[in-house]
Structure 1
Amino acid sequence: MSLARDAAAFKNALHRQDYSSWHSQPPPLQAQDAAAASSSKSKKKRPKSNVVYSQPADTGTGTNVNTQLLYAVNYLKTSGNPTRLQDLAILTGIPLDTDKVLFEKFRAHDRVVHDPRTDLYSYRHDFNVRNKAALLTEIQRQTRKGGGLSVRTLKESWKEAPQAIEELEKEGEVFVTRTLKDGQLRMVFWNEIKPNEEQGGMQVEKEFLDLWHSLEVPNDVDLLKQLASEGLQATAGETLVPKAPVTKKKGKKSAQKQRPIRLTNLHLKGQIDLSRDYFPQGK
């Protein structure tokens, strides 16, 4: 009997159970809002990419031997310090110590200097200056040849060259030309005449410089009046006299020269008078 009662209770429980789908009975509004918020958080925004796929990707030093060689030499130039080959390979990411072809080209480069005693590599600059005295000596040597030195080139050889040039300029050892736009150092020349009271070359006093720059050049009319008041005349500019066109003289035409007649059929000479015209005679 107990088994029968349990079976009947189980059947009644099955009939009371709701097997409808959750789609037919949606959850409450609060549950819907929470589900929407969680789904929006789960969807991440795709980051915008500024990569232009039509352009080649930047691969750093590249894979071409000549490109890697140029990169290594430029790094040696900008560093300014002697470097071991292994350190240079690590710093640049270029296989200088493993690639034999690249290493031979690097050693044979005209700007690469190798010190066998220290096994260090350095860049060969146009000028080997490392102090102020050597810089002045190089400027003197170049000025004696009739030219100056580019400050940019000197800066590549020695980074402190511009500061040393400004000090030499204040000491009166060199002359410097600057750009008109921003006043940057451009060219440097050696001052052969040292500024002193005996030989000259001293800076003109500011009072005289102000007086000189305060002078104004008068216009053409006032300048002519001032010259006339002093009994002077303006110099006339030299004018070129135009040349008359060359014309041929008209004269009588010379008579044409008569060319001598060239006689042919010389084998008949002596038998027929070739100077006469012969006409066939009628029968």
Structure 2
Amino acid sequence: MSLARDAAAFKSALTRQDYSSWHSQPPPLQQPQDAAESSSSKKKKRPKSNIVYSQPADTGKGQDVNTQLVYAVNHLKSHGNPMRLQDLAIITELPLDTDKVLFEKFKSHDRVVHDPKTDLFSYRHDFNVRNKASLLTEIQRQTRKGGGLSIRTLKESWKEAPQAIEELEKEGEVYVTRTLKDGQLRMVFWNEIKPDEEDGGGQVEKEFLDLWHSLQVPNDVDLLKQLVNEGLQATAGETVVPKGPMTKRKGKKTATRQRQIRLTNTHLKGQIDLSKDYVTPGKS
């Protein structure tokens, strides 16, 4: 009877058991997109940073007064036009108007020009050119000294210098050299001989240019024959005299030196000629 009662109690316990747990009802499968979103939300990416906290930020101005001076002068050079000190201090974020040491160094710089009438500061370039006429005058002055002008230097003084130089080249006023790689302007020289009809120097006609370029130099054999037919001789080249083999000398030969004889018997001077050899008769 007890066995039957235990079996009935076990069956009743099974019927009351709740199978709604996650073991009996697993969650629905996630789609690939949902799974990627969930994984990305769980894994937070660390933002990348290139800041090196052990070094100060590179502002270009620096903290040293000389570094700030170079920065201010370079900015004045790139600006090109005269500036007020306050405007330069605001743009460069430098204490030019409050730091006395920096201001004195800036004002006394050899490349800084101060106009006391307008209280403006400007950069002193190597050449003071602002138009085409002054540019040609500077090129003429430099060419007379025996040299040309660098296009890069002229461009620093006047940004429109390369365009003006190309116009002067078309007008025949200057000669220009260019780089072989990309044909950029390099040096400029003044053209002293102008191609005009009065003074000569005009362009040679194309017919004569074609005739000149059509001429061909004969080879060495034909050139010698033509010289012989004309009764001429070819100039002899410099002949190199062959040097004989170097022979090593055995030992060193020194020149024989005549040893000076010092006369010590000075008391016999005037009585006996000490420079002669005296031989006693009967002795050899």
Partners of 2:111 and 2:84 in 1: CA distance: 16
Partners of 1:32 and 1:146 in 2: CA distance: 84
Alignment of 1:226-245 (within 5 A): 226-239=226-239
Change (3 A) 1:254 1:202: closer
Shift of 1:179: 2.3
The number of equivalent residue pairs is: 240
Partners of 1:142 and 1:25 in 2: CA distance: 100
Which residue of the partner structure matches residue 101 of structure 1?
101
Partners of 1:31 and 1:171 in 2: CA distance: 80
Asked if the contact 2:178/2:187 (under 8 Å) is kept, the reply is yes
Change (3 A) 1:36 1:243: closer
The share of aligned pairs that are identical, in percent, is: 78
SS of alignment partner, residue 98 of structure 2: coil
Asked if the contact 2:143/2:189 (under 8 Å) is kept, the reply is yes
Shift of 1:161: 0.9
Change (3 A) 1:174 1:29: same
Partners of 1:119 and 1:254 in 2: CA distance: 86
1:260 alignment partner, one of 248, 257, 263: 263
Which residue of the partner structure matches residue 198 of structure 1?
198
SS of alignment partner, residue 199 of structure 1: coil
Change (3 A) 1:256 1:140: closer
Which residue of the partner structure matches residue 81 of structure 2?
81
Partners of 2:118 and 2:25 in 1: CA distance: 83
Partners of 1:109 and 1:94 in 2: CA distance: 16
1:133 aligns with 2:133: yes
Q: Structure 1 residues 81-90 or 198-207, which shifts more?
A: 198-207
Shift of 1:103: 1.1
The one-letter code sitting in structure 2 at the alignment partner of 1:227 is: L
Asked if the contact 2:60/2:71 (under 8 Å) is kept, the reply is no
Which residue of the partner structure matches residue 67 of structure 1?
67
Partners of 1:243 and 1:78 in 2: CA distance: 65
Give the TM-score, by structure 1 length.
0.69
Alignment of 1:142-157 (within 5 A): 142-157=142-157
The one-letter code sitting in structure 1 at the alignment partner of 2:126 is: D
Partners of 1:127 and 1:156 in 2: CA distance: 9
Shift of 1:210: 4.1
Change (3 A) 1:242 1:40: closer
Partners of 1:206 and 1:214 in 2: CA distance: 12
Which residue of the partner structure matches residue 169 of structure 1?
169
After superposition, what is the alpha-carbon deviation per residue over 1:128-174, rounded to whole angstroms, capped at 9, x for unaligned?
A: 11111111111122222222222221111111111111111211222
Give the TM-score, by structure 2 length.
0.69
Structure 1: segments with no counterpart, 5+ residues:
1-15, 264-283
Shift of 1:32: 11
Shift of 1:46: 3.1
SS of alignment partner, residue 109 of structure 1: coil
Partners of 1:258 and 1:124 in 2: CA distance: 80
Partners of 2:22 and 2:82 in 1: CA distance: 77
Change (3 A) 1:218 1:69: farther
Please provide the CA RMSD for this pair: 3.8
Shift of 1:83: 1.2
Shift of 1:120: 1.5
Change (3 A) 1:100 1:26: farther
Structure 2: segments with no counterpart, 5+ residues:
1-15, 247-252, 267-284
